[in-house]
Amino acid sequence: MKSYAIFEAKNRLSELVAAVQNGDEITITRHGTPVARLVAMDSANPPLEGQAQSVQAQMQVLADLGLTISPLLDVKDAIQTGRD
């Protein structure tokens, strides 16, 4: 199993996904400590129950948030609106 620091994994994500599709498992570390494992999706690794619905709900929250921000706001005002 190969191991990559988070920064390197971010910069090589496409390459790492291709490696995982070919059967590799990748460990991602932060400051030398393993924090995540990148593995292929297949019948042996199904998504967690309810995970798809949770992701869909969060995507809807983000979409709704996008509708509430006026395109006429400058960046400073948009940031403040997001904090309110």
Q: Which residues contact 45 (CB under 8 A, 6 or more apart)?
A: 39
5-12 long-range contacts, CB within 8 A, separation 24+ = 5/29, 5/30, 6/30, 6/35, 9/38
Say what the pTM is: 0.50
* Two tokens, residue 43: 């019948």
2-5 β-sheet, strand order: 2-5, 26-30, 33-38
Q: Is residue 43 part of a domain?
A: no
The reply to whether 29 and 55 lie within a common domain is no
Whether 66 has a pLDDT exceeding 80, the answer reads no
CATH number (domain holding residue 14): 3.40.1620.10
20-62 per-position pLDDT tens digit: 999 899 999 999 999 999 988 875 667 777 787 888 888 888 8
Q: Are 47 and 25 in contact (CB under 8 A)?
A: no
Dist CA 6 CA 27 (whole Å): 9
In the chain, the number of structural domains is 2
Q: Which domain holds residue 21?
A: 2-38
